[in-house]
A and B are shown apart, each in its own frame.
Chain A
Amino acid sequence: MSDAILTASVPAVRRDIGLKRRYAAERRFRLYGLAAITIGLVFLALLLTSVVRKGYTAFVQTEISLPVTFSEALVDPTNKRAEDPQILAKGKYDKVIREALAAQLGFDAKDLKSGKAADQLISPSARVELRDMVLADPSLVGKTIDVSLLAEGNIDSANKGQIDLSVPEARRKVKDQQLTWMQQLKDAGKLKFAFNTGLFVNGASSRPEAAGLGVAAIGSAVMMLIVLALSLPIGVAASIYLEEFAPKNKFTDLIEVNINNLAAVPSIVYGLLGLSVFVNFLGMPRSAAVVGGLVLTLMTLPTIIIATRASLKAVPPSIRSAALGLGASKMQMIFHHVLPLAMPGVLTGAIIGLAHALGETAPLLLIGMVAFVANYPVTPMDPSTALPVQIYMWANEAERAFVERTSGAIMVLLVFLILMNLGAVLLRRRFERRW
């Protein structure tokens, strides 16, 4: 009887299985996840906005277009260019520019003080530009042509509003007279912004207006090619052997531990290794992209080996058994079935390793690639730098105009990285197989 009452009353109270608590826990967990992603996104947005805000102006450049007269008296006073065209290299092109400015701005070209102030409107690189123009075409002597000349770095910064003009004149790089001239040129439509192609094609320069990423981009590209050509085959071969052929014993365990350790070694150590092996022992040249590529290859190998081994392990054993069961040799099984299936993982590992290598400066410091290199490298044995190195070097410059260039260079490096990662995604799509 009492039993009957009990059984009748029990169904009314549901057994507590902690449903509410579990739902609450799940909601909390989702919130944590959302918070983690939000924090990540906020930092990414902060980084990107600060880089873009500071750097977007680096992609335009102030240019001053002037009618320039290559008068014979300044360019070739002895009139010997017919016999020796090289004499034109010694012309007084700074005076050519000064006279053009004097005519445009209306001051006396013989007035030294105004002349000096006016000289500082135009980049010193412009003289070289004019000289090269005349050397390439000696018939220009005596003619007047319109030329667009780079404005000096400080003038460029002032034109972009990056120099505080409210402070007293004595404490400014750009003087009042120069500001008046800038306004005068601007009103005449002679001073305007143009796309900064120099940023992409010029080599390093001590003048911000003429400094570019050309040599650094070539250096980085060459190094990435070397890293790809060496570390991918070596890494894949090593991991296939370790994963599929090598006996499992103490020795292979030791190798595995060592590879995992190497992946965590600070990159500067690879620089030391590169210096003593490639430069000092093998006698390779300093500052050369080939040495940088080899050092970065060593640095990237463990990453690729670890990623490849993991993706080889992830291929289901049934695939291997099926291939072997149908009479394939072990090598056929690996190259026809296992490796193609593991390829997306291998490529992801390779691209992550490459992207990592692209951003390294520390190992390059010791082999002499943190350097001022103005000439384009012709072979991989010639001196060059790398993109992150150029960013680092520009970040330490004193001139105001280098601040925006630093951020501009960071944007270029980011575009490089985005392209590489995009490539990885596309390759993965192409190789992706499901079972």
Chain B
Amino acid sequence: MNFIRFSAAALVASVAFAGAAHARDQIQIAGSSTVLPYAKIVAEAFGEANSQFKTPVVESGGTGAGLKEFCKGVGPDTIDIANASRKIKDDELKACKDAGVTAISEIKIGYDGIVFATDASNKDFVLTDKDLYLALAAQVVVDGKLVDNTAKKWSDVNKDLPDEDIMAFVPGEKHGTREVFEQKVMDAGCKAAGAADVIKGLISDAKEAAAACHKLRKDRMAVDIDGDYTETLARIAANKTAVGVFGLSFYENNTDKLKVSTVNGVTPSVETIASGEYPVSRPLFFYVKNAHLGVIPGLKEYVEFFTSDDMIGPEGPLAEYGLVPAPDAEREQIRSDASAGKTL
């Protein structure tokens, strides 16, 4: 009986606790799992360098989910920063404004390269976006008509490629990486193969024509991976001849197990991506709720700390982990925009 009485009291107490508004002394961040490793490095270094502030809490869960939480409103019970592996969309921005989150700073932290890699036991792989398109598209153009893709081996696509079955592990539709893959590889390959114009002639609707370019085949040659890069790595270990799509930072941490393939003759590296030579990359961002600056302790300092060259610069820990730093002038611009509190 005493026990029951005690727990009833505990229940009441916990609800009463919750009702009391509480001030937050810790920055809360949510969003993209691609940005997560970088945000973790910065959060940890920030906590170590500033003993008066607690280490920020960084949630994972995806760009979309993070921005949704971010746009819930203003106040200590909403998050302060959303990490994003793509730009905020117009409808998300509208949702933000509707909820009273009007002043948002967009801060670019650098670029993320997307690489194609095979098991380390393979010979060097030399790919072009055209090869990838012809090997992985659901439908290709033959004699001016769209027909189902029948290529079985890489050598069917390009006789310089090895005589091995086509097998590619591609991030699933829920990943932001997939969008980049579609735009920067499939669409570019579609154009390079001369298929884009033919498709435009066949399909009048522009959206559908674009979709036809980057639709992947479903006959087990292009496999969607809904998990993370660790799953792709495990699948490649079991399927030695398959090609997998990875983030540059993941590849750089596993260079002894993976061999990267060149795309259009360029080997992906921090340098080639920064210069724009390597085609498959995307910018990474975080979004700051300006109304929380000066309210949540440490938020202003965190933004300053993140944008400093000690973090996002070419010698910083983020570049070492695999982030491609923005060019010098752009970083300068990012810093001045951030300190001026420039909003979207």
**Interfacial residues, chain A to chain B (CB-CB below 8 A):** 89, 124, 128, 163-164, 167, 171-173, 203-207, 226, 229-230, 232-234, 237, 278-280, 282-287, 290, 294, 335, 365, 368, 370-375, 381-383, 393, 395-400
Contact = CB atoms under 8 A, between A and B. Distances in A.
Nearest to B51: A89
A209 to B, nearest CB: 13
B288 interface: no
A383 B317 contact: no
B19 A283 contact: yes
Contacts of A280: 72
Interface stretch (B10-18, B199-207, B325-333): B10-18
B314 interface: no
B60 A172 contact: no
A371 B7 contact: no
Contacts of A206: 37, 40-41, 44
B4 A374 contact: no
Nearest to B59: A371
Interface in B221-266: 228-230, 249-250, 253-257, 259
Contacts of A290: 14, 17-18
B139 interface: no
Interface stretch (B26-34, B108-116, B170-178, B301-309): B26-34
B152 interface: no
Contact of B60 (A234, A371, A375): A371
A138 to B, nearest CB: 15
How extensive is the interface on chain B, given as a class?
35 or more
B254 A372 contact: no
Contacts of B6: 229
Contact of B230 (A163, A372, A382, A395): A395
Contacts of A205: 44
Contact of B59 (A128, A287, A395): A287
A375 B317 CA distance: 21
Given A171-B120, A287-B28, A287-B57, 17 more contacts: A89-B51, A128-B48, A172-B255, A206-B37, A230-B7, A230-B11, A234-B11, A237-B4, A283-B21, A283-B77, A285-B24, A286-B77, A368-B57, A373-B55, A374-B44, A375-B55, A398-B249
Q: Which of B40, B58, B59: most chain A Cβ within 10 A?
A: B59
A372 B36 contact: yes
A366 to B, nearest CB: 8
A362 to B, nearest CB: 12
B246 to A, nearest CB: 9
Nearest to B120: A167
B60 A230 contact: no
Contacts of A229: 6-7, 10
Nearest to B5: A233
B59 A282 contact: no
Contacts of A371: 30, 57-60
B43 interface: yes
B60 A370 contact: yes
B10 A230 contact: yes
30 contacts: A128-B48, A164-B120, A167-B256, A173-B255, A206-B40, A206-B41, A229-B6, A230-B11, A234-B7, A282-B18, A368-B30, A368-B69, A370-B61, A371-B30, A371-B60, A372-B39, A372-B43, A372-B57, A373-B57, A374-B44, A375-B54, A383-B28, A393-B60, A396-B229, A396-B230, A398-B249, A398-B250, A398-B253, A400-B253, A400-B254
Contacts of A383: 26, 28, 57
